[in-house]
Chains A and B, each alone.
Chain A
Amino acid sequence: MRFIPTEPRRRATLVAAAVAVVCAGAVAIVVTSTMSTGTPAPSHSAVAAAPSATPTPRASGSPAPQDAIDAPATTTVAAATGDSVPVSAEPDGAVTERLSNPQKSGAPLVLRVVDQRDGWAQVQLAQRPNGSTGWVPTSAVTLSSTPYAIVVTESTNTLDLYKDGSVLHSYPVATGTGGTPTPTGRFALTELLAPTNDGYGPYAYGTTAFSDVLNSFGGGPGQIGLHGTNDSSSIGSGASHGCVRMHNADITALAKLLPLGTPFQVR
């Protein structure tokens, strides 16, 4: 290696004490020995662990904090396709009960779905304790969705009808008295009756909610209903045995809109 000299270095000031290491004759490199003073901590790191995954929160059948509104923009519902639907405590679990289709009232069996896993749907059950759920095979149901949700607020005796997550209409209602309160929680509509007996108005929805204080009522198990009334003066107050009463015109309006399985929250 031989390099032809060229013009002299111009910045002589660059020369300072250093160790020159001469290699192969003409070629040299300066090796400086220096002290690094006050070296701050390293700040660069090209790679780091990704943040841990956070599960997506889901709606569930368990009671919600009192103020949280449960009005999903869309809710999956499961309609039974055969004459019964087996229920298990967990996906692929043993069958713990079979739900009849149609129900005793003659209404089709339609369940609100709160979670899904491969081939299984977790549904709300119309039984005590409130908030009961079970898993059903999706092979036994047809899944569909509803954009509606009902939210009843006891403190104001109002019922808000939600569609796609937004309030569509607000209705005055009567809810339970102090002695027979309407239980709070996240429920669903289970059946729609055109009652043949007095006191319920033109339509009455059954729900997955049950009275916490009445174990039986009028020959039934104390199930909470959403219905009309022949006592419209009670609307807007806490006057019922736990059911939610509406003006007959209002329950008629709902009866023309809502699928079974529609979320029904009391708060």
Chain B
Amino acid sequence: MELHTVLRSRIAAAAVGVTVLGVTAALVPTVSNAADDSVAPATSVVTWADSAADFTAIDTDSSTPAIPAGWSWLGIQQDGSDYATSLDQVASFGADGVTAKDGSAVLLLHPLQSTVAPNALAGLIDDAAANAGGDTEVGLLVAKASSPTLVEETVYTTGGLQGADTVWAGGESTDELATQLRADGDVVFGYAVVLNGATATPPATDEPTPAPTETPAPTETPAPSETTAPTSTPAARSAAPEQGVEKLLPQASAASTFAARAAVPADSGIADLVIDDSTTYFTPQPTAAVSSTSLSLTVSQATSTGFPVTGSGFAPGETVGVALAQGQSGTELPGTLTADADGNITGTVVLPAGATAGAWTLVFVGTSSAQTASVAITVTADPAVAPVATPVSGRATFTG
């Protein structure tokens, strides 16, 4: 583990150094991935937030709730009870991501890597996307420039986070929102996801949400009469949000304007979110693994044909660095592999001309996700060079 950590940081440093115990190394990836231009490159940072343990609770008693580093959460149950005391009370994690439980609403929060001023807002949003359900909203945490870590208000999208095409509640484009923020002396310092669990209040059906979550049959258009439910005196909030934690919540949404969006796990869920050069997967974190069909090669083979490797469990599109290690020391090899859309890698690792025999470990590290896998290899000494044949005197009886 320590070694992996060391290697990871060294690889992240993007060093192209090449000496392993005095040996120059070379890595030759095959073209199998390089040819796949349908895979978008991964963001610089890829993380998985796939269980309640990955989220910090927001201090609901504070009038000026701080947004902790990493992901944090706030959960409300519709029965009028207090804030949820554990994320598992109001949300469930599964193969499709995180989903708010029926009758619950969950707010997931994350600070930006650094405060974004209005003139940089387009840059933040143009590359942003969410793979979320129709009842899920993504928004920004807004603060006064003079106090850039205190939530001033939140601004949520209408129709989802869709890069440059994102529309903000109220119909504003990102540029228009930026203009408004600039006029108000505001900055953006974080982002938020609201998972609205199915309300389906009385229809005492056991399963208020339309059937299975895994098959998002697009044409179905659930057309549930849910929209009518809200009209039942929505106790519409007064225009002024209150304070504290409340500021984090979406005030309303132009419900009927939700547009078609990317793949959706569940209406009240989110599978992944890309913003701020970071990707968060709410789906289960895979275990990275790498294997080779040739685990033992001679020096000649290791330095010519090399070790064919296949692996899985990396972030889609991410760059995977490779290190050659022995014991607790090692170094990264030049060249990288690129994970495909499923997070798989395929390639060939060729050792340097001067590679020596011994037991080695190839360590693969996702440079965005820090997912790590290794495979033990053996390099054996080449056999000695065969001697030139010594002729023997005798009668030849070949066919002539």
* Chain A residues near B (Cβ < 8 Å): 1-24, 26-51, 53-56, 73-74, 76-77, 79, 105-108, 110, 143-147, 180, 189, 191-197, 199-200, 203-206, 211, 214, 217-225, 227, 240-243, 255-261
Do A53 and B227 touch across chains, with their CB atoms under 8 A apart? no
Q: List 15 A-B contacts (CB under 8 A).
A: A4-B244, A13-B170, A17-B255, A19-B232, A23-B82, A27-B60, A29-B246, A33-B224, A33-B255, A34-B134, A36-B267, A43-B262, A46-B48, A200-B398, A218-B397
B-side contacts of A50, CB under 8 Å? 289, 291, 310-312, 344
Do B399 and A225 touch across chains, with their CB atoms under 8 A apart? yes
The A-contacting residues of B in range 221-278, CB under 8 angstroms, are 221-224, 226-227, 229-232, 234-237, 239-247, 249-256, 258-265, 267, 271-272
Extra 10 A-B pairs, beta carbons < 8 Å, given A9-B240, A23-B76, A217-B398: A3-B63, A3-B243, A11-B169, A11-B170, A30-B252, A30-B253, A37-B260, A105-B394, A146-B385, A180-B399
CA distance A54 to B145 in the complex (A): 58
Residue from the list A24, A42, A257 in contact with B131, Cβ < 8 A: A42
CA distance A211 to B400 in the complex (A): 11
B392 located at the interface, meaning its Cβ lies under 8 Å from any Cβ of chain A in the complex: yes
Q: Mark B376-400, 1 if CB is under 8 A from A, else 0.
A: 0000001111111111111111111
Q: Which residue of A lies closest to B82 (CB)?
A: A24
Do B258 and A73 touch across chains, with their CB atoms under 8 A apart? no
Do B400 and A218 touch across chains, with their CB atoms under 8 A apart? yes
Which of B18-26, B279-287, B329-337 is found at the contact surface with chain A?
A: B279-287
Residue from the list A145, A200, A240 in contact with B383, Cβ < 8 A: A145
A-side contacts of B305, CB under 8 Å? 56
B41 located at the interface, meaning its Cβ lies under 8 Å from any Cβ of chain A in the complex: no
B78 located at the interface, meaning its Cβ lies under 8 Å from any Cβ of chain A in the complex: yes
Do A219 and B397 contact each other (CB < 8 Å), given the known contacts A27-B242, A79-B386? Answer: yes
B112 located at the interface, meaning its Cβ lies under 8 Å from any Cβ of chain A in the complex: no
Smallest Cβ distance from B89 to chain A, in angstroms?
13
Residue from the list A40, A106, A222, A255 in contact with B399, Cβ < 8 A: A222
Residue from the list B263, B272, B310 in contact with A53, Cβ < 8 A: B310
CA distance A13 to B281 in the complex (A): 32
Smallest Cβ distance from A5 to chain B, in angstroms?
5
Do B242 and A28 touch across chains, with their CB atoms under 8 A apart? yes
B212 located at the interface, meaning its Cβ lies under 8 Å from any Cβ of chain A in the complex: no
Do A16 and B252 touch across chains, with their CB atoms under 8 A apart? yes
Do A15 and B255 touch across chains, with their CB atoms under 8 A apart? no
A-side contacts of B264, CB under 8 Å? 36, 39, 42
Do A18 and B397 touch across chains, with their CB atoms under 8 A apart? no
Do B242 and A5 touch across chains, with their CB atoms under 8 A apart? yes
Do A227 and B398 contact each other (CB < 8 Å), given the known contacts A1-B61, A36-B134, A255-B391? Answer: yes
CA distance A49 to B345 in the complex (A): 11
Do A22 and B80 touch across chains, with their CB atoms under 8 A apart? yes
Do B392 and A106 touch across chains, with their CB atoms under 8 A apart? yes
B-side contacts of A191, CB under 8 Å? 389, 392
B-side contacts of A22, CB under 8 Å? 80, 235
Q: Which residue of B lies closest to A147 (CB)?
A: B385
Smallest Cβ distance from A107 to chain B, in angstroms?
5
Counting from the closest, the 10 A-B pairs by CB-CB distance are A220-B397, A225-B398, A36-B134, A3-B244, A42-B263, A48-B342, A259-B386, A47-B286, A33-B226, A13-B170
* Chain B residues near A (Cβ < 8 Å): 48, 60-61, 63, 76-78, 80-83, 96, 105, 107, 131, 133-135, 137, 153, 155-156, 169-171, 180, 184, 196-197, 199, 216-224, 226-227, 229-232, 234-237, 239-247, 249-256, 258-265, 267, 271-272, 281, 283-286, 289, 291, 293-294, 300, 304-305, 308, 310-313, 315-316, 341-344, 346, 382-400
Do A21 and B105 touch across chains, with their CB atoms under 8 A apart? yes
Do B239 and A36 touch across chains, with their CB atoms under 8 A apart? no
A-side contacts of B285, CB under 8 Å? 46
A-side contacts of B265, CB under 8 Å? 42
Do A19 and B393 touch across chains, with their CB atoms under 8 A apart? no
Do A30 and B250 contact each other (CB < 8 Å), given the known contacts A14-B169, A19-B234, A44-B272? Answer: yes
Smallest Cβ distance from A237 to chain B, in angstroms?
15
CA distance A169 to B265 in the complex (A): 66
Residue from the list B78, B218, B230, B387 in contact with A18, Cβ < 8 A: B230
Smallest Cβ distance from A15 to chain B, in angstroms?
5
